[in-house]
Chain A
C-alpha cells in the first residue's frame, strides 16, 4: 500500500508576508514596540496594589448614588442643557453640511471645489469633539455656546461625508434625464439629486442627533456646557455618590436617545 512508506517532505504554511524572515522581523518589531509601550506606562506592583485600594475606596464612596432634591435639580438642569445643545447643534450642523456635501461629491462638483469640500470634511473629522470644544471655550467663553459650536463642527464632518457618498451613488441617469429637459443646474439638483437623497438626509440627521446626545453629555468636561460640567464638578469635589448618579443618568439618556433614534429610523424606511 502506497501510504505505508513515509516520505519526509516538510510543509510550511504560506505566509502573508514576503517570506518567513520578513514575518519574524515584523513580529519582533511589534513585540518590541509593545514592550516599550508597557515600559513607558511604568506599571509597578506597588502601583497596582495602590490601585486596588483606591478602586475599593471609590466604589465605597460611590454607593449609594445620591438623589437629594438639590442635586437632582442640578442633574436635571444639566441634562436639559445637554439635550438642548444636541438639538440645536444637529440642526445647525446639518444646514451647514448640505452645501459641503454637494461640494464634496465628485460627480457634481468641479475639481477645485471638490478638494475644498473634502478638505473641510477631513479637518472636521480629524479632531475629537473635546479638542474643538476646548478651543471654542477659549474663543467664546465657558457655556453652552462653545458646546453648540463644537458639536455643529463635528456634525459637518460626519454628515457631509456620508451625504456626499450618497450623492455620488445617485443614479446619474435620473440627473441626465432632468438635464435633458432643458433644466438649468439648480433645477437639475432639485429634481435630479435632491429627491434621491432626501430620505437619507432625514435618516442621517436622526442618527447624528443620537451621536450628538452622547457628545453633549461630555463636552462639559472642558467647560462647554451640559451635564459634563456637573460631572467634572462632582469629581473635583470628591463627591463620588453624585458622580455615580450623573454617570447613571448619562447612560440612561444615551440609551433613550439610541432607542428613539433607532425607532424613528426604522419607521422612515
Chain B
C-alpha cells in the first residue's frame, strides 16, 4: 500500500511544482492522475520513487518511509516500485531481453550484471512476461528496431519483472497513437488485476482515465483539486481541474458530455480490443 502525505516539491528555480499532495493507493486499484500540463503530475510520480527529490512530505510504501532512505535501502525500495515512462526510456542499443532483464538489476551483483548473468528463474520469467505483453520472439531484437507500442510493452515488461508492489506510470500513452494507447492501458489494468498490485497512472487523456481507472485524482498548480470515481468527474470537476474554476456555479451539459465520451469509447472498443 502506498500512502503519500503532504508531498511538496520546490525546484531550485523557485518553481513550486507540488504544494502538499496527499494520496493513498491500495489493493489492486488503478488510480489515474489527470490535470493540465504543468500541474505537477510528472513531478508527483517522480517524487514517489525519488527520481526527483521531494522537498517535503512523506511517502510510505507498505509502512516503509521512502523519503528518509539512501544508498542500498533506497535502491531496495525502488525495486518494489516498477516505473513506466512516457518516452519508454529503453536502453535503445540493447536487446529487448537485456532491457527486460534490467528490471532485475536490483537483485543481482554488479559483476553478474556486467556479464549479463541472471538467474535461470529470471530469464524464464522474462520469457513469460514477454509472451504476456505480446512480444514473443522479439527477445533478440534491438530496442531501437521496435515500434512505439512495442517499446512501451518492453517498458512494461521491464517493470513487471521487478515483481513490484506498485506500478508508477508516467504518461504511458502520450507518445503513442490512440489505438496503441488503449491496448497499453488495457494491459496495465490487466496486470493490476492479475498480479494484484495497484497502478498509479499519470495521464492527460481524460477519456482513457475515465474508461480504465477505478479512481481519478485531479491536480492543478501542484494541488489536488479533485478525487473520486470516474462517474464523479463531472463538468464542475473538469472546470476545477482544467480551468481553475473555484465555485461550482454552472450546471452545464455535464451529462451529455459524459455520454459522449462513453459512446465514443464504446464504438471504438470493438475495433480496438485487438490493439
Which A residues have a C-beta under 8 Å from some C-beta of B? 1-3, 6-11, 13-14
Contact = CB atoms under 8 A, between A and B. Distances in A.
Contact of B124 (A1, A9, A14): A9
Binding site secondary structure of chain A: loop
Interface residues of B, number: 20
Contacts of B97: 11, 13
Contact of B123 (A1, A11, A14): A11
Given A10-B120, A13-B98, A14-B95, A1 B125 contact: no
Interface string B183-195: 0000000000011
Given A1-B194, A1-B195, A2-B132, A11 B125 contact: no
Nearest to B94: A13
Interface of B: 95, 97-98, 101, 116, 120-121, 123-129, 132, 139-140, 160, 194-195
Contact of A13 (B95, B127, B195): B95
Most buried by B among A2, A7, A10, A11: A11
A6 B124 contact: yes
Contacts of A10: 120, 123
A6 B121 contact: yes
Binding site secondary structure of chain B: helix
A184 B49 CA distance: 73
B153 to A, nearest CB: 16
A6 B127 CA distance: 10
B158 to A, nearest CB: 14
23 contacts: A2-B194, A3-B128, A3-B129, A3-B132, A3-B160, A3-B195, A6-B120, A6-B121, A6-B124, A6-B125, A7-B124, A7-B127, A8-B120, A8-B124, A9-B127, A10-B120, A10-B123, A11-B97, A11-B101, A11-B127, A11-B139, A13-B98, A13-B116
A11 B97 CA distance: 8
A10 to B, nearest CB: 6
Given A1-B195, A2-B194, A11-B97, 13 more contacts: A2-B132, A3-B125, A3-B128, A3-B160, A3-B195, A6-B121, A7-B128, A8-B121, A8-B124, A9-B120, A9-B123, A11-B123, A11-B127
B126 A11 contact: yes
Contacts of A8: 120-121, 124
A7 B101 CA distance: 15
A206 to B, nearest CB: 38
A7 B123 CA distance: 8
Nearest to B118: A11
A6 B118 CA distance: 14
A8 to B, nearest CB: 5
Nearest to B141: A14
Contacts of A7: 124, 127-128
Nearest to B160: A3
Nearest to B100: A11
A196 to B, nearest CB: 36
Nearest to B161: A3
A11 B121 CA distance: 11
A2 B193 CA distance: 13
Contacts of A2: 128, 132, 194
A135 B30 CA distance: 79
Contacts of B123: 9-11
Nearest to B115: A13
Given A1-B195, A7-B127, A9-B124, A14 B132 contact: no
Most buried by A among B101, B123, B160: B123
